[in-house]
Amino acid sequence: MIELKHLSKVYTNGQTKVEAIRDINLTIEDGDIFGIIGLSGAGKSTLIRCINFLERPTEGQVIFDGVDLGTITHRELLKKRQSMSMIFQSFNLLSQRTALGNICYPLEISGVDKKEARERARELLKVVGLADKEKSYPVQLSGGQQQRIAIARALATNPKVLLCDEATSALDPNTTSSILELLKEINRSMGVTIIVITHEMKVIEQICNKVAVIDNSRIVEEGPVTEVFTAPKSQIAKQLILPTNQGVPEAEGFRCLRLVFDGTSAFEPIISGLSRSCDTNVNILGANTRNIDGVAYGQMLIQLPEDEAVTARIKEYLDQKNVKYKEEGLNVG
Amino acid sequence: MLDNAMIALLGTSIWETLYMVIVSMILSYAIGIPIGVILNITSKDGICPNRPVNAVLGVIVNIFRSIPFLILLIWMLPVTEAIVGTMVGPTSVIVPLVVSAAPFVGRMVESSLSEIDGGVIEAAQSMGSSSWQIIYKVLLPEAKPSLIIGAAISITTILGYSAMAGIVGGGGLGAVATNYGLYRYEDEIMLITIVIIVVIVQIFQEVGMITAKKLDKRLK
Ligand SMILES: Nc1ncnc2c1ncn2[C@@H]1O[C@H](COP(=O)(O)OP(=O)(O)O)[C@@H](O)[C@H]1O
Ligand SMILES: [Mg+2]
């Protein structure tokens, strides 16, 4: 378990002071995949670097399994870091070492003998699905592969916690997804607690069970992902989480219905249900919807048929499903 | 006049030069690597920032780097004699050569180390590496290709200094060039020594560059 108590960090550069994080209080339970989301410059990296004391907090405590990291010796801190690994946006592999050599690094520095380290590294290469890449150098690997090696390296010392600072931000969407699945799998099979820093809501949605929203150096909201994502309270959380009407066109030339999913209706195949129960074809003009824990958010614009009777049936169906709508386009008085 | 005696003298001089240069090179690196490492790690963004140490060492290095080699050599004659027991010959030249080259090497090493991506160092710290482990398992290995290129440059500089030392009794190819080329107007001998020195420099340069390229895993 990690407890952050009144954690603050002020950077001082001559006269100027930047309060990068301010009075952060969070508890991360064992087995959590805890997301911390915020815009660029919010203080996310500072926060995660304070957790393993790469950055010494100006005030407050980090309590890791009952030990206040601020009170232990430097040597003990180095030991603690072996059970609190970290992965980065830019992978940060040693360019002059092979994939295997990189994974061996944390083992070497913790005093494991070379042969044993190599065996363990090979096991980890299998875990991350790159058993055939042991002799490759980082430059020969894709971004996704490099991050897999970095994950293997982070797992080498059997850490309890894995800190991820924008670990997927340099990757394309498919690779991001596969890395997130790998992290989820590691959490499930090895019981590693994961703290994920990101500015992307998709990341939180895909793997986290808890989330904290950081804005302007402070935590403005936190809780289970299902709660925060279904009913975001803070302005910044709403901005990060709820889809906007971006990508949904204005109604033009047709009679249209704008369906608004505001979190009161279940995420289900509403259109196919509509087609079936109203016996009509539904033409979607645009949509931006999102499933957040089984609840639908966003907007959708559909074209209404000529037939008034069918239109009435459609509205009746939507009422029944608790979807709000608004008629737009031609003939709207 | 290029007779057998002359050829033998050139042969000995080549060995003297190589001896001076290589021994000075080794000693300069033995001193220069720690200097470079300390300059790097105590800098503002280094792993053990320490302004006083960084500033003091920086000033010392700069002072020794700004003294022209020939002046340093003459100034150091008593020290040299105290250390090696003589003021003439190749061995005596090694002392001022090292004093002059070590700060230069220190700056080269510092610059090679500063090219390393800070993220990689941060990753090593996040894994619980001690500063010492970062130095010998991250900084030096990651900078290896760049350090070798630096060594090729340093050895050229040292060779140049060693030739200057020849003028004041240091032996080696510099002495041949001075004694025959300068004092006896033997242009042929002068030219031969120049060619030999150029060839030696080229060999060191090429070997350095090729080795650096071969070792650099970022280029494959
Ligand atoms: N080493 C530093 N020195 C001074 N200011 C810093 C330093 N690191 C971060 N900051 C400042 O702290 C704030 C938070 O930065 P950061 O934690 O990197 O945010 P994020 O990761 O959310 O983008 C920013 O205003 C940034 O400029
Ligand atoms: Mg950041």
Give ipTM to 2 decimals. 0.90
In this structure, which amino acid lies at residue B197? I
Determine the pLDDT at residue B48.
95
> Where does the pLDDT of residue B220 fall: very low under 50, low under 70, confident under 90, or very high at 90 and above?
low
Backbone φ, ψ for residue A308 (5° rounding): -60, -35
Inform me whether the pLDDT recorded for A271 exceeds 90.
no
Residue A211 forms beta bridges with which residues?
A35, A223
Flag if B141 and A108 touch (Cβ within 8 Å). no
CA distance A61 to chain B (A): 18
Determine the pLDDT at residue A247.
61
Flag if A109 and B128 touch (Cβ within 8 Å). yes
- Fold classified for B4-219: MetI-like fold (1.10.3720)
Mean predicted lDDT score pLDDT of chain A: 90
Q: What's the rounded Cα separation, in Å, for the pair A201 and A292?
A: 11
**B-chain residues within 8 Å CB-CB of A163?**
126
In the A/B pair of chains, how many CB contacts fall below 8 A? 82
Residue A316 at interface with chain B, using a CB cutoff of 8 Å: no
DSSP string across A9-45? EEEEETTEEEEEEEEEEEEE-TT-EEEEE--TTSSHH
The residue count for chain A: 333
Inform me whether the pLDDT recorded for B1 exceeds 70.
no
CA of A132 to the centre of ligand 2 (A): 32
CA distance A133 to chain B (A): 14
Determine the pLDDT at residue B62.
96
User: Counting atoms of ligand 1 from 1, which one is nearest the CA of A42?
Assistant: 22
Give the whole-number percent of chain A exceeding pLDDT 70: 94
Nearest to B138 among A77, A82, A94 (CB): A94
Summarize pLDDT for A243-261 with one digit per residue, the tens. Answer: 665 666 766 667 888 888 8
DSSP string across B180-205? IIITS--HHHHHHHHHHHHHHHHHHH
Residues with CB under 6 A from ligand 1: A 11, 13, 18, 20, 38, 40-46
Flag if A88 and B119 touch (Cβ within 8 Å). yes
Strand A161-165's sheet: what is its strand order?
A: A84-88, A161-165, A193-198, A33-37, A210-215, A218-224
- Residue ranges covered by each domain of chain A: 2-234, 255-329
> Where does the pLDDT of residue A58 fall: very low under 50, low under 70, confident under 90, or very high at 90 and above?
very high
Mean pLDDT of A15-25: 95
> Where does the pLDDT of residue A302 fall: very low under 50, low under 70, confident under 90, or very high at 90 and above?
confident
Determine the pLDDT at residue A186.
97
Distance in Å from the first CA to the final CA of chain B: 51
Mean pLDDT of B119-147: 97
In this structure, which amino acid lies at residue B4? N
CATH class of segment(s) A2-234: alpha beta
Mutate to test the interface with B, among A77, A94, A100 (most CBs of B within 10 A): A94
Asked whether the beta carbons of A236 and A212 are under 8 A apart, the reply is no
Determine the pLDDT at residue A333.
42
The model's pTM: 0.85
At CA B86, angle to CA B85 and CA B88, rounded to 5? Answer: 160
Q: What's the rounded Cα separation, in Å, for the pair A104 and B179?
A: 58
> Where does the pLDDT of residue A226 fall: very low under 50, low under 70, confident under 90, or very high at 90 and above?
confident
A255-329 belongs to CATH 3.40.50.2300: no
Q: Whose CA is nearest to atom 16 of ligand 1?
A: A43
Mean pLDDT of A98-116: 96
> Where does the pLDDT of residue A288 fall: very low under 50, low under 70, confident under 90, or very high at 90 and above?
confident
In this structure, which amino acid lies at residue B150? G
Mean predicted lDDT score pLDDT of chain B: 93
Does residue A235 or residue B64 have the better pLDDT? B64
Q: Whose CA is nearest to atom 1 of ligand 1?
A: A11
The SS3 assignment for B22 reads: helix
Nearest to B128 among A79, A92, A93 (CB): A79
Q: Whose CA is nearest to atom 14 of ligand 1?
A: A43
Q: What's the rounded Cα separation, in Å, for the pair B171 and B165?
A: 7
Asked whether the beta carbons of B151 and B25 are under 8 A apart, the reply is yes
Determine the pLDDT at residue A293.
65
- Residue ranges covered by each domain of chain B: 4-219
Residue B128 at interface with chain A, using a CB cutoff of 8 Å: yes
Mutate to test the interface with A, among B51, B217, B219, B220 (most CBs of A within 10 A): B217
Give the whole-number percent of chain A exceeding pLDDT 90: 65
> Where does the pLDDT of residue B54 fall: very low under 50, low under 70, confident under 90, or very high at 90 and above?
very high
Q: In sequence order, what are the residues at sequence separation of 6 or more whose Cβ sits closer than 8 angstroms to the Cβ of residue A10?
A: A17, A18, A19, A20, A58
